[in-house]
Amino acid sequence: QLDPENTGFIGVETFASLVHSHELPLDPAKLDMLVALAQGNDEGQVCYQELVDLISSKRSSSFKRAIANGQRALPRDVLLDETGLGIYKRFVRYVAYEILPCEMDRRWYFYQHRTCPPPVFMAAVTLTQIIVFLCYGARLNKWVLQTYHPEYMKSPLVYHPGHRARAWRFLTYMFMHVGLEQLGFNALLQLMIGVPLEMVHGILRISFLYLAGVLAGSLTVSITDMRAPLVGGSGGVYAL
């Protein structure tokens, strides 16, 4: 009745009046979250699927807390209207608008963004990958496509399904790279995506996510190609 054109959306004011007149009490936290999601889009509408997902608890608890807590702490002004920002905060705002499509998500990211503690995990992983690459480059005197060198593939860090009994290789292969192109691509993405994520979500979540992607890569190779050696941090980058 409230959506005669069958768009799947109704206005947030209409939804609020419907909730207040409904005879069955609904979870206030879920309602607050749904209204927060509606206020975050340009039209200020409630999506039917969002309602179904929230009422049926399909959303993860961490997502619910992030939306609910973040929304309560945010000012209502549009992020672009913020004045008096330094160079660094303007860069953070630029990242928010380049990556996030929703104004509420942009504001949540902007105000939750922290420089302390610093994003040490992504920085340490990237630095270690560069150091390992330089060490093997100097040792083998080969800076491009190092994997074509036989000694490179004998490294105790490289993962190969035939060596899966050496459990550390499931993760340590992320420090090795095919060549300069792969290293540069992965390092750039880790710094551009991983660092901003770590500054919001913290070292524990991002390190677990990254390492889970690395582990998923070696496990996938183990069941798809038993002859293939594996190097590079691409699994972690894709996870991010």
Query: Is the model's pLDDT at 62 over the cut of 70?
Result: no
* Res 30: pLDDT: 67
**Tens-place pLDDT, residues 73-127:** 444 456 676 777 777 778 778 878 877 777 777 777 777 777 777 889 999 999 9
CATH for 120-239 is 1.20.1540.10
Residue 151 has pLDDT above 80, yes or no: no
| Best CATH choice for the domain 1-73 from the list 2.30.29, 1.10.238, 1.10.3470, 1.20.144 | 1.10.238
For the chain, which residues make up each domain, given as ranges? 1-73, 81-115, 120-239
> By the 8 A CB rule, do 112 and 65 touch?
no
Token pair listed for 144: 């491009």
- Average of per-residue pLDDT across 28-49: 68
The single-letter code of the amino acid at 96 is A
pLDDT confidence tier of residue 146, bands split at 50, 70 and 90 = low
pTM above threshold 0.75: no
Q: Bridge-partner residues for 159, per DSSP?
A: 230
Output the pLDDT for position 57: 61
